[in-house]
Amino acid sequence: MASDVSAETPYDIVIGLEVHVQLLTKTKLFCGCSTAFGAPPNTQTCPVCLGLPGALPVMNREAFELALRTAAALNCRLAPFTKWDRKQYYYPDLPKGYQISQYDLPFSSEGYLTIFDPKGRFEPRPIRIQRVHLEEDAGKSMHDEQAGRADSRIDLNRAGTPLLEIVSYPDLRSPAEAKAYLTELKLLLTYLGVSDCNMQEGSLRVDANVNLHVRTPDGVVPTPIVEVKNMNSFRAVERGIAYEAERQYRVFQETGKRLGDVPKQTRGWDETAGVTKAQREKEESSDYRYFPDPDLVPVTVSEEKMRQVRDQLGELPAALRERLQTQYGITLYDSDVLVNQGRAVVDYYIDVANRCGDGKLAANWMQQDVMRTLNERGITIGEFPISSARLAEMLSLIRGGDLPGNRGREVFERLLTTDESAAEAVAALGITKVDQSELEELCRQLIAENPKVVADVKAGKLKAAGAFIGAAKKKNPNVDPVQVKDLCLEIIAADNG
């Protein structure tokens, strides 16, 4: 490698994401078939989604409503007039020979989604969204191409499922930013209740358009844009883009090819090999011959409807994080962890924080003990055995000094398995408050009984004082170890004086 290459890469990565999200409707976009995942192949079909001769599509209002909600939450402009277009291409999983989609008049456009890094590695900033449109999903082809014998089977259960395509501007500058965008988008969609965003089941799919702006002595040179597909997790998106950026830089150094020199390429991410591979070029350059679908009528959306959609969005993740920070005094990181758990956990947290009056303490207990228990038991907050009131009572006892912090976990464990109130659990565990005189007496006793430790401390080995803690706990389990240690050191120092 040339010696003048600095540690910083000599290029910017430019990334735009196209995200396809299946909407959580009961029925398909243009017929009454179920959208449930996992049914036996071709059992959730009818003449409409099979594309049988003479069958006609009828728009699913529910799907359009969910689409409007999503676009509004993405700060998009909602179009007063939108229409359906046919995107035409031949593929066996596309039974009509065209996909009903939206071309030049999508129902929404020009929005943004603000991304941030909870660890603060980049500044929060809005990523512009070019358009959001609604379309029908295709079916699934299952290939069995052994020994050149292409035996393909087609499952059309998915054909016609409502799909939202969310297209960002190329505003993302790193794989981490791309991941942050997807994480925030998924969180938003989950809060809106419009999609389950399950990448394994294909309800969220991501394609990335990637190229580099290479800084050369002759100025900034853009490399050809590559569309990366087949990334089946957010981690894969991050890795795929990172790999693709390195690959493009390598190719640029070898060939010098810049944007416009070669047609746009599509590459597939190979998760196991950790590389992107060129995909077979389509037979013809993609001229989809879009035109308005004459079987469907255009949709108009009134000003009132738009207002209503915006008014009913509810509190979205970004606003919620903001409120948790200002109202409960917790950090961005903590608010992010809580909000990522979903609205129910946040509501639980808010109730605990309000009741005990200490947002930080509540946040610590949520993130450590509550979330750990949820994960270990694989349960939701709704199934969590400790009500917010009981947890708040426990935290109040800690705040009031009636429950030493170090014994909180014992109480927590007991609350998990009993119906007791926090106070009852404290009593049952025999936890009582140790007053100052009691503590002093205990410390003097310890000093008297441990001349070797006292000698060590006096010789400057302050660490030796740790031995007092174990000894103190044996005498009285309710003492605060830190207090014991500090008080012992104080007494020894005074004796010295």
Partner 1 sequence: MSNALPTAAELAERLAQGSLSASQLVAQCLDTIAERDGSLNVFLSVEDRQAALQQAEAVDRRRGSGEQAGLLAGLPVAIKDNICHAGRKTTCASRMLAEYEPPYDATVVEKLRDAGAVIVGRTNLDEFAMGGSTENSHFGPTRNPWNTDHVPGGSSGGAAAAVAAEMVPLSLGSDTGGSIRQPAALCGVTGLKPTYGRVSRYGLVAFASSLDQIGPITRDARDAAMMLQAIAGHDERDSTSADVPVPDYLAAIEQPLAGLKIGVLREQLSGDIDPKVKAAIEAALAVLEAQGATLVDVLLPHSKYAVATYYVISASEASSNLARYDGAHYGYRTDERAMREALRREEAELKAAGKDAAVAQLDSPLVRMYRVSRSEGFGLEVQRRIMLGTYALSAGYYDAYYRKALQVRRLIRQDYDTAFAQVDLLAGPVTATTAFKIGEKSEDPLSMYLVDLFTVGANLAGIPAMSVPCGFSSNGLPIGLHLQAPAFEEARLLRVGHQYQQVTDWHTRRPALS
CB of 46 to partner 1, least distance (A): 8
In the range 110-169, which residues lie near partner 1 by CB under 8 A?
A: 150, 154
The angle that helices 343-356 and 388-399 make with each other, rounded to 10 degrees, is: 40
CB of 48 to partner 1, least distance (A): 8
CB of 191 to partner 1, least distance (A): 32
Pairwise CA distance, residues 299 & 255, whole Å: 49
Closer Cβ to partner 1, 55 or 491, answer by number: 55
Q: Which of 13, 28, 35, 57 binds partner 1 (CB under 8 A)?
A: 57
Closer Cβ to partner 1, 46 or 423, answer by number: 46
Binding mask 194-233 for partner 1 (x = CB under 8 A): ----------------------------------------
Closer Cβ to partner 1, 98 or 107, answer by number: 98
- Residue 60 tokens read as 């699913």
In the range 82-121, which residues lie near partner 1 by CB under 8 A?
A: 86, 88, 90, 92, 95-98
CB of 31 to partner 1, least distance (A): 9
By CB under 8 A, tell whether 47 contacts partner 1.
yes
CA 204-206-211 angle, 5° bins: 170
CB of 295 to partner 1, least distance (A): 5
By CB under 8 A, tell whether 297 contacts partner 1.
yes
Q: Sort strands 77-78 and 81-82 into parallel, antiparallel or unpaired.
A: unpaired
Pairwise CA distance, residues 231 & 236, whole Å: 5
Partners of 101 in the β-ladder: 85
Q: Which of 36, 43, 58, 125 binds partner 1 (CB under 8 A)?
A: 58
In the range 241-260, which residues lie near partner 1 by CB under 8 A?
A: none
Q: With contacts defined by CB under 8 A, how many residues of the chain interact with partner 1?
A: 30
Q: Which of 50, 242, 416, 491 binds partner 1 (CB under 8 A)?
A: 50
**133 φ, ψ (degrees, to nearest 5):** -135, 165
Closest CA to 197 of 212, 219, 182: 182
Dump the DSSP string for 391-417.
HHHHHHHHHTTSS-GGGHHHHHHHHHH
Three-class SS of residue 88?
Answer: strand
By CB under 8 A, tell whether 301 contacts partner 1.
no
Three-class SS of residue 20?
Answer: strand
Instruction: Yes or no: say if 348 and 386 are a contact pair by the CB < 8 Å rule.
Output: no
Q: Which of 144, 254, 287, 376 binds partner 1 (CB under 8 A)?
A: 287
**Amino acid of residue 417:** T
Element of type H or E holding 38: none
Residue spans of alpha helices (H) in 404-480 = 408-417, 422-428, 436-449, 451-458, 466-475
By CB under 8 A, tell whether 54 contacts partner 1.
yes
CB of 157 to partner 1, least distance (A): 14
Element of type H or E holding 206: strand 204-216
Q: Which of 283, 303, 304, 376 binds partner 1 (CB under 8 A)?
A: 283
- Residue 105 tokens read as 């008049």
Which span sits near partner 1 by CB under 8 A: 20-28, 167-175, 289-297, 321-329? 289-297
Closer Cβ to partner 1, 50 or 221, answer by number: 50
List interacting residues with partner 1 (CB under 8 A). Answer: 47, 50-59, 86, 88, 90, 92, 95-98, 150, 154, 283, 287, 289-291, 294-297
